[in-house]
């Protein structure tokens, strides 16, 4: 999320329900479609090449994490009202409980399925030897890869980025020009990609798990530069809409033409900047719900996908053998995985993630009420 984590619960309600909230949900759903794509009756990537570029949605979350964090915590960090330890612990508490609960559920599910005779379609995916790396979030250090719950690698990298956020943002505050901020972001983006090609022979936007820190950190930094550009620029509502819609048009056109990912990422930056600079005058219906569910959607679709494709779909095929041979039924079955995932993510958010976050906030981060000190001055005598 993290890259895909929801904004802090104390964010002003009037800032919720905007375009960024809606885009967060769309990007999370695109990640799910990307990961489920090979299980479709016709692999989605074979239908159009862009459907095999779901990694761009993760890049969107990485950039958005830096952008949103700067907007939500930038002022407090700049004034040193929040300590590094408290800030990092709040981000850790936001991400890690969901990660570890999801992982525990996945382990129980895999062990139970194995006991009942079910086997995963992805042989070797759920190897117990890979659990320690997942538990301790060692992905960012190139240890353990992305087995078990694949999306958890973003938490591993972003927690490290969060540790450096206060220092990085205070450095960004020295820049007082939107153009300089944008130029710096462009240098970081293009420089990281060129370095990745030169050293690793791969584009920076889709590096393997052992290089995930090198993938995430530059994109997080770019998010900070975009936030500073919005903060220092003279943005009007019309300009913000033009940048946002213009970036969206470029992204869609480049997606249809299967253009280079650098153009896609630059267009994503424009969309984030335009949406972030636009005031939320009227909430988009369902956008606030989508933003809340998106983190759970991103994190738990490994569980719902495994249940659907390894248990429900085989059982349905046994009960109705023709389901895989009839095109519309096969596609309906595949679409059912998306519906099942949306419902599961909503339930997870309502009954697991939100209650845990509220309890953590009350127990760890609630500031004690400060009682008013008695006035030491003697009370004035009332006149007769």
Cα–Cα–Cα angle for 247, 197, 180, nearest 5°? Answer: 45
Distance (Å, whole) CA 51 – CA 43: 9
Burial of 370 (0-12, 13-18, 19+ CB in 10 A): exposed
Question: What pLDDT is stored for residue 384 in this prediction?
Answer: 33
**Which residue's structure tokens are 């009370």?**
379
Distance (Å, whole) CA 91 – CA 293: 17
Question: What pLDDT is stored for residue 340 in this prediction?
Answer: 98
Q: Residues in the chain with pLDDT < 70?
A: 1-16, 119-124, 145-146, 324-325, 367-384
Q: State whether the Cα torsion 198-199-202-205 is positive or negative.
A: negative
Residues 6+ apart with CB under 8 A from 15: 7, 280
Question: What pLDDT is stored for residue 169 in this prediction?
Answer: 95
Q: 261-264 long-range CB contacts below 8 Å, 24 or more apart?
A: 261/53, 261/56, 261/203, 261/205, 261/206, 262/189, 262/190, 262/193, 262/205, 264/53, 264/56, 264/205
The encoded tokens of residue 130 equal 């890979």
Is the separation of the CB atoms in 232 and 174 below 8 Å? no
> Can you give the pTM of this predicted structure?
0.89
Question: What pLDDT is stored for residue 123 in this prediction?
Answer: 61
All structural domains of the chain with their residue ranges:
13-363
- 241, 244, 246 from 270: Cα distances, Å: 10, 6, 8
Is the separation of the CB atoms in 30 and 54 below 8 Å? yes
Distance (Å, whole) CA 218 – CA 222: 6
The encoded tokens of residue 251 equal 């992204």
Question: What pLDDT is stored for residue 146 in this prediction?
Answer: 67
Helix, strand and coil in the chain, % to nearest 5: 75, 0, 25
Is the separation of the CB atoms in 204 and 196 below 8 Å? yes
Among candidates 339, 323, 364, 332, which has minimal Cα distance to 29? 339
Question: What pLDDT is stored for residue 69 in this prediction?
Answer: 94
Residues 6+ apart with CB under 8 A from 53: 34, 255, 261, 264
The encoded tokens of residue 173 equal 């505050």
Distance (Å, whole) CA 1 – CA 66: 11
**Which residue's structure tokens are 């130029």?**
183
Please report which helix (H) or strand (E) contains residue 3, including its range.
none
């Amino acid at each position: 999320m993290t890259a895909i984590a929801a904004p802090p619960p104390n964010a002003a309600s009037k800032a919720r329900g905007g375009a960024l909230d809606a885009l967060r949900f769309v990007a999370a759903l695109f990640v799910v479609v990307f990961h489920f794509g090979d299980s479709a009756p016709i692999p989605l990537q074979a239908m159009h090449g862009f459907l095999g570029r779901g990694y761009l949605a993760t890049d969107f979350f990485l950039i958005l994490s830096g952008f949103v964090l700067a907007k939500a915590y930038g002022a407090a960090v700049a004034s040193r009202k929040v300590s590094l330890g408290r800030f990092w612990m709040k981000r850790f508490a936001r991400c890690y409980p969901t990660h570890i609960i999801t992982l525990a559920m996945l382990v129980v599910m895999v062990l139970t399925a194995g006991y009942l005779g079910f086997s995963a379609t992805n042989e070797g995916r759920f190897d117990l030897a890979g659990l320690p790396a997942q538990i301790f979030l060692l992905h960012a250090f190139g240890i353990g890869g992305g087995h078990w719950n694949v999306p958890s690698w973003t938490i591993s990298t972003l927690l490290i980025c969060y540790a450096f956020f206060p220092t990085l943002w205070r450095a960004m505050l020295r820049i007082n020009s939107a153009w300089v901020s944008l130029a710096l972001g462009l240098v970081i983006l293009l420089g990281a990609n060129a370095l990745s090609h030169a050293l690793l022979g791969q584009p920076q936007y889709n590096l393997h798990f052992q290089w995930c820190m090198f993938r995430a950190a530059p994109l997080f930094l770019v998010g900070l530069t975009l936030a500073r550009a919005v903060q220092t620029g003279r943005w009007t509502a019309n300009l913000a809409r033009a940048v946002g819609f213009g970036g969206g048009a470029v992204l869609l056109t480049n997606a249809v033409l299967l253009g280079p990912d650098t153009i896609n990422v630059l267009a994503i930056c424009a969309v984030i900047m335009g949406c972030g600079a636009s005031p939320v005058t009227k909430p988009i219906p369902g956008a606030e719900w989508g933003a809340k569910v998106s983190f759970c959607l991103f994190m738990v679709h490994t569980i719902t996908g495994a249940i659907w494709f390894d248990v429900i779909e085989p059982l349905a095929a046994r009960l109705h053998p023709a389901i895989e041979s009839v095109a519309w039924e096969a596609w309906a079955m595949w679409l059912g995985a998306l519906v099942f995932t949306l419902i599961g993510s909503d339930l997870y958010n309502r009954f697991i993630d939100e209650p845990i976050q509220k309890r953590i906030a009350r127990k760890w981060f609630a500031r004690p009420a400060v009682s008013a000190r008695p006035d030491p001055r003697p009370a004035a005598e009332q006149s007769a």
